[in-house]
Amino acid sequence: MQLLKNLAWRYATKKFDSKKRISESDLEKIKEAISLSASSYGLQTYKVLIIEDTEIRKRLQPKSWGQSQIVDASQLIVFCNYTKVEENVIDDYLKLKADIQELNIDDLKGYGDFMKSKILELTDNATKNWTSKQAYIGLANLLVACAELKIDACPMEGFEPEAYDEILGLSEKGLSVAVIATIGYRSEEDLTQHSRKVRKPINKLFETI
């Protein structure tokens, strides 16, 4: 299974080669892999920012515990979750579903009403928690896609979400940062690449009931 070899190859890259850039064709593949991620109801309640602007990344670095990956990696990927999911989000999805699957939108009313009954009753905190989880599923696909392409990546929670929201102007767009990742190519100076991967034994991680 090549996937297992790819996952064994990848690691959370701590130091990137700032001179190496990801090709546009590979970046498009990564974007498509994220787009194909599973999500609750298929709503994709998050947005992905691909940040290449040097000045923005310099502003974000101090708000990311000063980590060098923020400025040295080829791209900084910011997964932003919706802070609210209102009726129009569901309606827009139903219209898209009807168009793509060539369905009569009236036949989807029951499904739409069911989603609205479950989603619109959530508290603000519950909504943010739910939508942020969807973003993490997208992050997982990014990591797998990068591993297959032999592109290095580092998922990161070491940052100040409120500062990111302010610098990127996310609050007024109904978004908040859930998690970030840097992608590119490892530096030869990154000693972490030589460390053996540490994981619990399979029989400790899994239990059949």
Measured CA to CA, the distance from residue 152 to residue 14 in angstroms comes to 10
Phi, psi of 17, rounded to the nearest 5 degrees? -85, 110
Is 185 within 8 Å of 18 (Cβ atoms)?
no
Domain range summary for the chain, segments of one domain joined by +: 2-85+122-205
Query: For residue 80, with 0-12 CB atoms within 10 Å meaning exposed, 13-18 middle and 19 or more buried, which class applies?
Result: buried
For 7, other C-beta atoms within 10 Å of its C-beta total: 15
Homologous superfamily of 2-85+122-205: NADH Oxidase (3.40.109.10)
Tokens 């992050």 sit on residue: 139
Find all residues with CB under 8 Å of 59, minimum gap 6, and list them: 167
Print pLDDT tens along the chain (209 aa). 999 999 999 999 999 999 999 999 999 999 999 999 999 999 999 999 999 999 999 999 999 999 999 999 999 999 999 999 999 999 999 999 999 999 999 999 999 999 999 999 999 999 999 999 999 999 999 999 999 999 999 999 999 999 999 999 999 999 999 999 999 999 999 999 999 999 999 999 999 99
User: Would the pTM of this model clear 0.85, i.e. be above it?
Assistant: yes
Helices 124-149 + 2-9 axis angle, to 10: 100
Position 182 scores a pLDDT of 98
